[in-house]
Amino acid sequence: MATPCDVPVGVITGDNLVKLLKHAKDNGYAIPAFNCTSSSTANAVMEAAAKFNSPVMIQVSNGGAQFMAGKSIKDKNACAAGSVALALHVRAVAPYYGIPVVLHSDHCAKKLLPWFDGMLEADEAYYHQYGEPLFSSHMLDLSEEPDEENIAICVQYFKKLAPMKIWLEMEIGITGGEEDGVNNEDVDPEKLYTSPEQVYSVYEALSPIGSMFSIAAAFGNVHGVYKPGNVKLSPERLLKHQEYAKAKLSSADDKPIFLVMHGGSGSTDEEIKTAVSAGVVKMNVDTDTQWAYWDGLRKFEADNRDYLQGQIGNPKGPDAPNKKYYDPRVWIRKAEESMIDRVGVSMEKLGCAGTFPVKKPADGSVPLWNFKPVHLGPLEEAKKMLGNLMKH
């Protein structure tokens, strides 16, 4: 096994993120990115990463961000606020789990760009205060637009991200199925397969700006779960993208492009291995963990149904209390435990389990506010100036 990647625990950004993704590509593993909609699901993902000794990605979708903010909130900035809330939660607790965490935002179609702009505003504010962005990376999914427009908008936003060392993920070619309100169930099947020329055109446009980007190239992927045989995945196409780019660049690197896999639910182990061997460093997981979270609750309810029909009264007696069964901390925990197990399955399949031995901090050693401003506010600046004057 390769030497573990030398990155800190907690949320990582910038050069440390580059180091981690390069380590993954060079050592033949990928990092799963789990869609989280609550502190509970985020905690389950981090607990699994610690349990399976793996780095992990936590990502938030537009719909997940709305849920995090509260479904009743109709403000135009609700989704951005929900994304920021989840990010701040993860930043506060991630160091305690002793593993590296990548904070990412998922599919952003053209109609959702105001959400992206809100997160970018938060990144800039956080960067000016703490010297790094709030999020590690963001995704633009403009695959429904013509390639020229897709790439042009990505260039526009990458110029804003690059100075803060925020990673950009973009998609060219369409992932089928339906997820989070984006429906590609009736798309032309040919659009489910990206060509090497399309991938290289993205590389040509983004690489002059910076190197911190990855490409989600379609190879028949479909969001959601499906029966084997119902979808024709061709992960071997990904290697052709690498070979084409290597030839164009006269590169010594056999895999010069960072690739991403979407729509992985239901994929065979062999298809996943083929994708990872072709330079996929990140795979999205959502449908399978959604089911796992529910399944933990479902089993708990089935096993304890007689204790969940009222606040009092169960097989032990008509006055026996049931609080220890209906307390949300009990059944939510069962959902988390089930999700933790399924997260571990993804880590094993992608080869990242065991690549980062957990580094749990000594008890009480993590500062409650685990960040320090690099720029002082006006009042603090004035106090500092006054203090300097009084020394002379």
What integer pLDDT is reported at residue 177 of this predicted model?
47
Using CB atoms within 10 Å of the CB of residue 365, give its burial: 0 to 12 exposed, 13 to 18 middle, 19+ buried.
Answer: exposed
d(CA 222, CA 381): 53
Measure Cα distances from 51 to 91, 99, 101, 340, 349 in Å: 19, 10, 14, 9, 15
d(CA 235, CA 357): 30
Query: What token pair was written down for 150?
Result: 């897709």
What integer pLDDT is reported at residue 222 of this predicted model?
67
**pTM exceeding 0.85:** yes
What integer pLDDT is reported at residue 175 of this predicted model?
61
**Is 286 a residue of the active site?**
no
Q: What is the H or E stretch that residue 113 is in?
A: helix 113-130
Q: Find where tokens 């033949």 sit.
A: 28
Contact status, residue 241 vs residue 199, Cβ threshold 8 Å: yes
d(CA 36, CA 39): 8
Contact status, residue 260 vs residue 271, Cβ threshold 8 Å: no
Using CB atoms within 10 Å of the CB of residue 67, give its burial: 0 to 12 exposed, 13 to 18 middle, 19+ buried.
Answer: middle
d(CA 69, CA 119): 14
Helix (H), strand (E) counts: the chain: 13, 13
Query: Helix crossing, 113-130 with 78-97: angle to 10°?
Result: 50
d(CA 134, CA 85): 11
Query: What token pair was written down for 384?
Result: 């500092």
Contact status, residue 102 vs residue 36, Cβ threshold 8 Å: no
Contact status, residue 177 vs residue 224, Cβ threshold 8 Å: yes
What integer pLDDT is reported at residue 378 of this predicted model?
66
What integer pLDDT is reported at residue 268 of this predicted model?
87
What integer pLDDT is reported at residue 228 of this predicted model?
46
Give average pLDDT by consecutive 10-residue segment, the chain, 392 residues.
Answer: 93 98 98 98 98 98 98 97 98 97 97 98 96 97 95 98 98 66 51 89 98 93 52 83 97 97 81 95 95 98 98 98 98 98 97 97 90 70 71 67
Query: b/e for 104-130, b at 16 or more Cβ within 10 A?
Result: bbbbbbeebeebbebbbebbbebbebe
Single out the catalytic residue among 6, 15, 26, 106: 106
